[in-house]
Structure 1
Amino acid sequence: MKVRIRKYSWQLAPADIRNIRQAVFVEEQQVPPELEWDDTDEIADHYLAVLPDNSPAGVARLFSTLEETAHIGRMAILPVHRGKGIGEALLRHMMVEAAGQFSEIQLSAQEHAIPFYQQSGFHVCSEFYDDAGIPHVDMRCLAPKLVSDAFGVRQTPMLLGHDREAWLFDSESTMTALMDSVAGQARQRIWLYDRLLDHDLYDRLRFRELISTLARHHRLSEVRLLIHDDKPLVKRRHQIVELMRRIPSRIELRLINEDYPVEDQPFLLVDREGVVFRHDFYKPEGFAKFSDSGRARLLAESFQRMWDAGKRSLELRELPL
């Protein structure tokens, strides 16, 4: 169904926005009014989906608390208009708008709505929790620009274990967005093979947080860093190395042993499905796959051989905390 999306500030928002939220959240889902109406409304942009005859069908809001992160919330479609694609149109309209300004979009999803958000490039990033008596999870999209450009072309874009199409990249910004999107869904392992731990690629705040989250919150997790050159590590304070020293049982670094065969192309492996593969150590060119168990298995076998032959880094002992 064709809909139009209108944007308002809270001060200028029509009564339809409040009325839909009242009907869906307060009356239908029994959310306490004191939880539904909050101060965030004052700083958010509010979106209203209307039908061709101008009748209101759904609402949502978008706001930001961090420079690079936007939040979508209070998304509600009136019961009579559900199942017609209105929610998808509303969500994707907001994502396209946000993608020009933000590198990450977060939201809190009710349990039943998880597949709905996965179809638009979001993945689960928390355990279940209770919000107003309703089970919720946090979800995020770490590459909103790439995802929004692929709307209508890909199903469940960037969902680990489901998105089987390759994502090509030829720039560092696209590569890091894909790398974060794969690594952010890790539940067991992140294996990284590269020439060195380049600061621009691996010492970014977001990537460090993804590594830390996996290492700290998943009991059987393992982060393996396999590199050729560790000398730059003593020249600049590398936060991932410091994190490794604080969680040595979960994060480990080894050096390539040149006496054994090694790969001449870097890659990142996530669990048993995700792959980010570069054609060259010195260029941000390659592809990412979110569901490629065959390639991931072959690369994992190669990684394991290099890892088993690898050496401990003596340079790390010189790094002060």
Structure 2
Amino acid sequence: MNWRIRKYSWQLVPGTIKDIRQQVFINEQKVPPALEWDSTDEIADHYLMVLTDNTPIGVARVFSTLGDVAHIGRMAILPGFRGQGFGQQLLRHLMSETGQEFPELRLSAQEHAVPFYQASGFHLCSDAYDDAGIPHFDMRCYAPELVLARLDDHPRPMISGEDSTSWLFDDEQSLIQLMDSIVGQARQRVWLYDRFLEHDLYDRSRFRELLSGLARHHRASEVRILIHDDKPLIKRRHRLVELTRRLPSHMAIRLVNDELPLEDQPFLLADRDGVVYRHEFDGPGGFAGFAHGGRVKLLEDAFQRMWDGGRESLELRQLPL
């Protein structure tokens, strides 16, 4: 069946949008009306999916409260159209439209809908919580454009432990999106090896927040950073160094021992499955894997060997916070 999607501001939404939300959320799912109709409606864009004869199918809304984050919500498909792929098409339309402007998409998913969103590249980023009496999880996607370009080849794209394919990249933007997607799913460790901590890659607010969240919210977590040169960190204040010094029980930076065998390519490891591997220190080209346990094990052994032979930077330790 052919369909189309229309976009409205709250002031101009047709009654059909409100009727669908009333039927699905309030009547069917027993969400209290006071929770369903909130002030966010006034700042959101509202979407109505219809057949070519204007038969309504479903709705959704998108809003942004932060400069680089869009929130998808209130997605609902009428009962007679469920299980036919309309929800997936609606979600991917939202990803296509908002992903060009916002590098991060977020949503709150009901527990039963988590696999549905994972099929479009959204990963879990919270524990379960109650919303209107229904278990929910926060989910996010850091690479909507990359996901949309390769959905046909990836049943659960960029989901840690499940997506066993390799994601090739040759530009810094794709590298950053893939790196954040992998680090954002880590629950135990992130090990990073590079020549130095390039500011454009590693001194970004999102990257710091991801490492800080791992270190603060997971008791047994560890972040290890292994570099060749600490002079750029001393010359230009690097906020990742500050974070490491504030969380010394979970985060550490070491310098490699140049007299011992060293790896020729930089890489990042997340837990037992995630890897971002670059072909050279000075270029963005390489690949990322979300379920590459074998390669992670090989690089893990190499990293551990270099880490054991490395040393702490006295200069970084003496820098004032």
Contact preservation (8 Å) 1:237, 1:319: no
* Mapped pair 1:95 → 2:95: yes
Displacement of 1:273 in angstroms is: 0.5
Q: Which residue of 2 aligns with 1:182?
A: 182
Q: Which residue of 2 aligns with 1:277?
A: 277
More moved, 220-229 vs 152-161: 152-161
Residues 45-124 of structure 1 correspond to what in structure 2 (within 5 A)? 45-124=45-124
RMSD: 0.9
Q: Which residue of 2 aligns with 1:26?
A: 26
Tell me which amino acid in the other structure corresponds to 2:158. Answer: M
**Matched residue of 2:156: which SS?**
coil
State the alpha-carbon separation in 2 of the partners of residues 108 and 319 from structure 1: 41
State the alpha-carbon separation in 2 of the partners of residues 36 and 99 from structure 1: 26
Contact preservation (8 Å) 1:44, 1:62: yes
List alignment gaps of at least 5 residues for structure 1: none
* Mapped pair 1:287 → 2:287: yes
More moved, 141-150 vs 194-203: 141-150
Contact preservation (8 Å) 1:99, 1:148: no
What are the superposed Cα offsets for residues 68-107 of structure 1, whole Å, 9 maximum, x if unpaired? 1100000111112111111000000000001110000000
Displacement of 1:277 in angstroms is: 0.3
Displacement of 1:151 in angstroms is: 2.8
**Matched residue of 1:53: which SS?**
coil
Q: Which residue of 2 aligns with 1:234?
A: 234
**Matched residue of 1:112: which SS?**
helix
Q: Which residue of 1 aligns with 2:256?
A: 256
State the alpha-carbon separation in 2 of the partners of residues 315 and 171 from structure 1: 33
Tell me which amino acid in the other structure corresponds to 1:161. Answer: G
Tell me which amino acid in the other structure corresponds to 1:203. Answer: D
Displacement of 1:246 in angstroms is: 1.1
Displacement of 1:38 in angstroms is: 0.9
**Matched residue of 1:152: which SS?**
helix
Change (3 A) 1:117 1:243: same
**Matched residue of 2:12: which SS?**
coil
Displacement of 1:3 in angstroms is: 2.3
Contact preservation (8 Å) 1:21, 1:74: yes
**Matched residue of 1:75: which SS?**
strand
Tell me which amino acid in the other structure corresponds to 2:112. Answer: H
Q: Which residue of 2 aligns with 1:16?
A: 16
Q: Which residue of 2 aligns with 1:222?
A: 222
Tell me which amino acid in the other structure corresponds to 1:237. Answer: R
List alignment gaps of at least 5 residues for structure 2: none
Contact preservation (8 Å) 1:234, 1:318: no
**Matched residue of 1:126: which SS?**
coil
**Matched residue of 2:151: which SS?**
coil
- TM normalised by structure 2 equals 0.98
**Matched residue of 1:16: which SS?**
helix
Tell me which amino acid in the other structure corresponds to 1:122. Answer: F
Displacement of 1:153 in angstroms is: 3.0
State the alpha-carbon separation in 2 of the partners of residues 19 and 114 from structure 1: 25
* Mapped pair 1:140 → 2:140: yes
Residues 129-168 of structure 1 correspond to what in structure 2 (within 5 A)? 129-168=129-168
State the alpha-carbon separation in 2 of the partners of residues 148 and 96 from structure 1: 7
Displacement of 1:309 in angstroms is: 0.7
State the alpha-carbon separation in 2 of the partners of residues 129 and 22 from structure 1: 23
Tell me which amino acid in the other structure corresponds to 2:278. Answer: R
Displacement of 1:57 in angstroms is: 1.1
State the alpha-carbon separation in 2 of the partners of residues 292 and 5 from structure 1: 38
Tell me which amino acid in the other structure corresponds to 1:178. Answer: L
